[in-house]
Amino acid sequence: MCASSRPLAALLLLLTGCGATASMPTPGSPSLDRPARLVLDNGMRVIIQEHRASDVVALHLWVGVGGRDERPAELGFSHLVEHMLFKGTETRGPGFVDREVEAVGGRTNAGTSLDYTFYYILLPARRALRAIEVMGDVAFNSAFDPKELERERRVVFEEVRLGEDNPRSSLFRQLYSHVFPGHPYGRPVLGDEAALKAATREMLRGYYRRHYAPENMVLVVIGAVNPTEVSAVVERTFARVPAAGYRRQPLPPPPSLPGVRRHVVSRNEKQAHLALGWSAPPLDHPDVFAVDLLASILGGSRSSRLNQALRERDRLVSSVRASYGALQGGGLVSVSAQLEPGDLGKVEAAVLAEVRRIQTEGVTEVERRRAVTAAESEHAFAIETAEGLAYAYGLAETVWRLDEELRYLERLRSVTREQIHEAARRYLPVDRYAVLAFTPPGGAR
Amino acid sequence: MRRPVPGALGLIVAAGLTLIPSAAPASGHLLPVLRHRLPNGLTLLVRENPAAPVVAVSLQVRMGGRWERPEDAGISNLLQHVLVKGTARRSARAIAEAAEEIGGSVSASGDTDYSELRGTALARHWKALLDLMADVALRPSLPAEEIEKERRVILSQVRNRGDLPFPLTFDTLLASLYGPHPYGRPALGRRQTVERLDRARLLDHYRRHYRAGRIVLAVSGQVSGPAVVKEVERLFADLPAASEAKASAPPAPAAASARRVLERPAAQAQILMGYLAPSLAGGDYPAVKVLTTLLGGGMAGRLFVELRDRQGLAYSLGALYPSRTETSFLVIHMGTAPENLIRAEEGLRREVARIREERVMPEEVERAKAYLLGNLAMDRRTNARQAWYLAFFELAGVGHEFLDRYAAAVEAVTAEDIRRVAGRYLADPTVAVLKPIPK
């Protein structure tokens, strides 16, 4: 699921706790029905689309809270709250949602990132209305049962350990801290062990109450449903909650890297891992489309330059990939590779050589077209399913704009070779980037 | 992005997929299917699905473990893997690049009752996708070096399977459940057979099975039915029509009702109990599906509630009942700590006795049906899966519209039906146990 070169998709690299979301879309085909977007009196946004390609409904709740909103004593709270939300409400017992959804063959899960937290329920469409009621209860009346809290705290520590065991996810988390030093985007979404241990029920509940305000939420309902019926249920659930006057804290601008920052971590894996990171434009920037295609051409596919040069031709790496993660207040272009520990220096030099080549020569028309096709294909297969569409809409409405999302492909197709060339020169300076290497014990040179 | 597509490899996987997870108020919203028979006998099914600008194709051939002789076991799967590695016009690399150019992919594998060649693309490249798949299906070059590469891959899968406790015990169980019947053999084949398969035999196998009358081609996506018919008629016209004389029927399954114990170094003990069960076309198929769900369907299934939640006996457990053209099987299984082995087996036997002898509450039957049908709806969300379902049922002889009948039949299953089919099919278990020993 990390294997995406598209900015919206790459956001998921920082996700925690999300077991599913096989598809990460960016829809926008003109042949599709457009979604209906409603704004309730309390400020909550609701997106509904009838989607009759199958008999399921995808129900997503997106909340504008994530790692970036946490104060030092709250590090990891967004994620822990996410875990607590399916652990019972004031009127429904722990595990209620899981059981109810599982019993009809459905699925439910959640994820937390730097900019957002989201929850989803995917189930047969005839259960949709009931599921919306349940989601409304979870959103505003979660119980934070002390016993459940103790259990979930342990689950989260376990998740931290698992994440650290996985070199790829660990590599990306750490790379963010080096590209965004001292910035909220440099913090780990999974949090800080001390803060999590010190978290009391009251602190967490206070955090939940503060951020889970209707004006900070988006509900997305996509599937074989009747939009009128859906609106009626929303009216008597989510719409009943009064506005809370919530305003999200603005983000400071991301720091710029003064030079090449090198970090080496010794770990117990046989192969070495290398990541290079550059600070890149945020979501709401006109260059996101060019940077997206640039990352794809550089290292987004089998036929990409890095793969052809480093893997196929020089046999220097067992895998190599470039991707672009665009966040609300910043972005990151990364190149990551798996390699033999002895080749770390050679591989870094080879990556830079390919970057320089693209900066001098630009890209070919074949490359541009192929990158557009890859993006189009990824998008098209993602919106095949109700949950894929719901994910795309929820994400866009939360951190971007639904409208941008719907026009994404069109914008991508209009990017010229010159714009990609210019993006390479502007955003991939060969003297200002962060390097992170994981090496086996004794493997660092 | 890549959807998990039915892989033939690994019976567990194979069982999982052919396990029709089960129906929603089935295709209530789905569009009708166009069915067309080419003059040479190939059956084409097209579902126009305007939801997204993509297309998926499933070409299924009546070829697989069920028609293999013991000395050829695994040949269909190896052939399928080599098929996508070269044609008269394209190298392996050219095939992969052609797929990339149209925003899709092409792959193939062999299973027990069928072999599949599958492809996806952006909808506007549907012609290029069909052209690529026709090239692979009609003009494979079976390059010698690709045969060797794929053989090595499959041999390592066979080796892995022998090292994994569950698959190993499962294969052992099927062998004693089916005796001489080909369902008793793993679709991957065995080391000795896979090592000996050569190009001449693969070519012969290809020529005997890639006949129009043995093939169903299903297309689902943002396409026009009549346009697809025209293109398929042109592309597949050269496929030889004549079907080989029918092979003699395989020997009847002969369940040994035995208990086999394997001793291997392992952390967990495995217990599998198997029964012969109705084929896809059998009248009891829907009721046995509900029975299987009632026992092993998710966290509310009896095995989970009783043996895991209440007694804490199991790490993993479940029930399998794959959809098969001939006599199928129902397997209940459990992985547990070595010291719990005896209690765990008693527990499984007790659950079987209980469902055979005691009345089942109607609410429990309703829950199982909702789970079964909900899972089917979940499994039919993509065009690739929809194309697979269409081709699979058509090829199996029950018709592509089978799922609609099936969903209605599941809805009609009663508590009394459950007791009846439990009594009839869960009589005499064949058991395979993996007992851990120190390394």
**SS3 per-residue string spanning B187-229:** CCCCHHHHHHCCHHHHHHHHHHHCCHHHEEEEEEECCCHHHHH
Residues in B touching A384 (Cβ below 8 Å): 51-52, 54, 381-383
CB contact under 8 A, B49 and A29: no
Q: Which residues contact A118 (CB under 8 A, 6 or more apart)?
A: A60, A61, A62, A63, A110, A111, A391, A394, A395, A398
B164 in reach of chain A (CB within 8 A): no
Residues in A touching B25 (Cβ below 8 Å): 55, 126
Per-residue pLDDT tens, chain A, 445 aa: give them.
222 333 443 333 344 433 322 233 333 333 346 899 999 999 999 999 998 888 899 999 999 999 999 999 999 999 999 999 989 999 998 888 888 898 898 999 999 999 999 999 999 999 999 999 999 999 999 999 999 999 999 888 888 887 787 888 899 999 999 999 999 999 999 998 899 999 999 999 999 999 999 999 999 999 999 999 999 999 999 999 999 999 999 999 999 999 999 999 999 888 899 999 999 999 999 999 999 999 999 999 888 999 999 999 999 999 999 999 999 999 999 999 999 999 999 999 999 999 999 999 999 999 999 999 999 999 999 889 999 999 999 999 999 999 998 998 899 999 999 999 999 999 999 999 999 999 998 754 4
On the 0-12 / 13-18 / 19+ scale of CB atoms within 10 A, B107 is: middle
* Same-domain status, A11 and A114: yes
Q: Has residue A247 been placed in a domain?
A: no
Handedness of CA B146, B149, B154, B157 (dihedral sign): negative
CA distance A435 to A274: 7
* Same-domain status, A54 and A178: yes
Can you give the residue range of the structural domain that contains A286?
A: 260-439
Quote the CATH superfamily of domain B259-436.
Metalloenzyme, LuxS/M16 peptidase-like (3.30.830.10)
* Same-domain status, A196 and A94: yes
A208, A240, A272 - which closes a domain: A240
Q: Where are the beta strands (DSSP E) in A315-413?
A: 317-326, 331-339
Which parts of B49-164 fold into alpha helices (H)?
75-83, 92-101, 126-138, 144-163
Size of interface A-B (CB pairs under 8 A): 127
Q: Which two tokens stand for residue B328?
A: 């199928």
B119 CA to chain A: closest CA distance, Å? 13
30-89 of B, contacting A, C-beta below 8 A? 30, 49-54
Taking residue A246's Cβ as centre, other Cβ atoms within 10 Å add up to: 16
Q: Has residue A319 been placed in a domain?
A: yes
* Same-domain status, A318 and A193: no
Taking residue A183's Cβ as centre, other Cβ atoms within 10 Å add up to: 18
Q: Has residue A1 been placed in a domain?
A: no
Please indicate whether residue B336 or residue B15 has the higher confidence score (pLDDT).
Answer: B336
Of B398, B294, B407, nearest in space to B356 by CA: B294
* Same-domain status, A277 and A352: yes
* Same-domain status, A314 and A405: yes
Q: Domain residue spans in chain B?
A: 12-236, 259-436
* Same-domain status, A117 and A79: yes
Reading phi first (left if > 0) and then psi (alpha if -120 to 50, else beta), residue A60 is in beta
Q: Do B12-236 and B259-436 show the same overall fold?
A: yes
Which parts of A109-145 fold into alpha helices (H)?
128-141
**What three-state secondary structure class fits A277?**
strand
Of B233, B254, B406, B257, nearest in space to B323 by CA: B406
Q: Parallel, antiparallel, or unpaired for β A272-280 and A217-223?
A: unpaired
* Same-domain status, A330 and A381: yes
Taking residue A414's Cβ as centre, other Cβ atoms within 10 Å add up to: 11
Query: How many domains does the structure of chain A reveal?
Result: 2
Q: Which two tokens stand for residue A41?
A: 């009196």
CA distance B103 to A284: 27
Tens of pLDDT, residue by residue over B353-403, are 999 999 999 999 999 999 999 999 999 999 999 999 999 999 999 999 999
Q: Which two tokens stand for residue B33?
A: 């299917």
Q: Which two tokens stand for residue A371?
A: 């990158």
Q: Which two tokens stand for residue B257?
A: 């009702």
Q: Has residue A416 been placed in a domain?
A: yes
Residue of A nearest to B55 (CA): A381
> Which of B3, B24, B300 minimises the CB distance to A124?
B24
* Same-domain status, A308 and A234: no
Tens of pLDDT, residue by residue over B190-229, are 999 999 999 999 999 999 999 999 999 999 999 999 999 9
Q: Has residue A250 been placed in a domain?
A: no
A207, A240, A273 - which closes a domain: A240
B370 in reach of chain A (CB within 8 A): yes
Whether ipTM > 0.90 holds is no
Q: Which CATH architecture has domain B12-236?
A: 2-Layer Sandwich (3.30)
CATH code of A235's domain = 3.30.830.10
Handedness of CA B138, B142, B143, B146 (dihedral sign): positive
Residues in B touching A374 (Cβ below 8 Å): 100, 103
> Which of A373, A374, A381 minimises the CB distance to B54?
A381
Tens of pLDDT, residue by residue over B239-296, are 998 765 566 677 788 777 889 999 999 889 999 999 999 999 999 999 999 999 999 9
Tens of pLDDT, residue by residue over B103-137, are 999 999 999 999 999 999 999 999 999 999 999 99
Residues in B touching A380 (Cβ below 8 Å): 52-54, 103, 122-123
pLDDT confidence bin for B316, thresholds 50/70/90:
confident
* Same-domain status, A214 and A336: no
* Same-domain status, A228 and A328: no
pLDDT confidence bin for B88, thresholds 50/70/90:
very high
* Same-domain status, A293 and A325: yes
B94 in reach of chain A (CB within 8 A): no
Convert A318-349 to b/e letters by CB count within 10 Å (16 or more is b).
ebbbbbbbbbbbbbbbbbbbbbbbebbeebbe
